[in-house]
Amino acid sequence: MRCPAHKRGKEPSVSSDVSVAVRFYPPPEDLRRYFTTFYHTVISTPGDAPVHDALHPEWAGLRFFAGGSPVAEIEGCPRLTGAQFVASGPTTRATRFTLGSTRLWGVGLLPLGWARFVRQSAASLANQVVDGDSHTSFARFAPLARRLCEAPGDPQAELAQLIAFFRNLPQARETDEARIQAIHAAVIDPMISSVSELVDHIGFSQRTIERLTTRHFGFSPKQLLRRQRFMRSLAQYMLDPSLKWIGAIDWTYHDQAQFVRE
């Protein structure tokens, strides 16, 4: 996270006066197939000065702010300001944001969670960040937003409320559940590097896979595989920066030039 005094041309650093406390909570067993994680974050900055950061490409997410709200932007999409309930579809681009002192809850939605709880085409919200309070796709989360965007409370009690909300949310049976999970497992398999390998591995027709990934994952199978190998490269670099990019790029890239292009 960049400190408020960051200037172009200098290495970003975090001011000692900026406090960021994050705690991750694994979803309970009965909800685990729907969510990546639940997390609680408290950010304190001197004089409420803004900090700047970016989120890497990810699955869809819900974020509920009590305090300052972010200025968030994905390249090519409208900038979002003033929203206490920020919702995003799955992304293949960085989400850049500016944020002052605040407290927030985050919910990461896996493709099956999107299918079960949002029920809209993920492609229609891919690479978008929107005001969840006013967007029809997220209207059913309004009661949860009202609870979590209030004045700070007890995180454990709020976590219990969050879990209870999703357990009690009316659900229609997702008839494609098994196929969504099979596609998801194949997309994140590091040994699968092409759409043809994906089709052979899963055993569904390419047309069926494309229909399901567009609706529930937000992108075509080819885009998902490209995103996944980039994320593997990024994760490797973050775990061991001494490798430099040339040592961290995923084995499925033909060469460094292809990695740079993508």
> What is the SS3 assignment for 20?
strand
pLDDT at 47: 79
| pTM as predicted | 0.84
pLDDT at 153: 77
Backbone angles phi, psi at 181, to 5 degrees: -65, -35
Q: What is the token pair recorded at 172?
A: 């229609």
For residue range 108-126, list pLDDT tens digits in order. Answer: 999 999 999 998 999 999 9
Residue type, 132: G
- Helix, strand counts (H, E) of the chain: 9, 9
For tokens 């454990």, the residue is: 156
> What is the SS3 assignment for 177?
helix
**160-168 long-range Cβ contacts below 8 angstroms, 24+ apart:** 162/38, 162/105, 162/107, 163/27, 163/28, 163/31, 163/38, 166/31, 166/34, 166/35, 166/117, 167/30, 167/31
Q: Are 215 and 126 contacting, i.e. CB atoms less than 8 angstroms apart?
A: no
- How far apart are alpha carbons 250 and 153 in whole angstroms? 43
Q: Are 18 and 1 contacting, i.e. CB atoms less than 8 angstroms apart?
A: yes
- How far apart are alpha carbons 247 and 87 in whole angstroms? 35
Percentage of residues of the chain with pLDDT beyond 90:
61
Residue 229 has pLDDT above 90, yes or no: no
The mean pLDDT of 240-245, rounded to a whole number, is 67
Q: Quote the Cα angle for 159-164-169, to 5°.
A: 130
Q: Are 130 and 88 contacting, i.e. CB atoms less than 8 angstroms apart?
A: yes
- How far apart are alpha carbons 174 and 167 in whole angstroms? 15
> What is the SS3 assignment for 143?
helix
pLDDT at 6: 37
pLDDT at 1: 41
Sign of the dihedral defined by the CA atoms of residues 159, 33, 23, 138, in that order: negative
Residue 246 has pLDDT above 80, yes or no: no
Q: Is 260 exposed, middle or buried (0-12, 13-18, 19+ CB in 10 A)?
A: exposed
Q: What is the bridge-based pairing of β-strands 35-44 and 95-99?
A: unpaired
For residue range 31-80, list pLDDT tens digits in order. Answer: 999 999 999 999 998 877 888 888 888 999 999 999 889 999 998 888 99
pLDDT at 12: 40
Nearest to 190 by CA among 234, 232, 245, 249: 232
Nearest to 218 by CA among 170, 184, 173, 186: 184
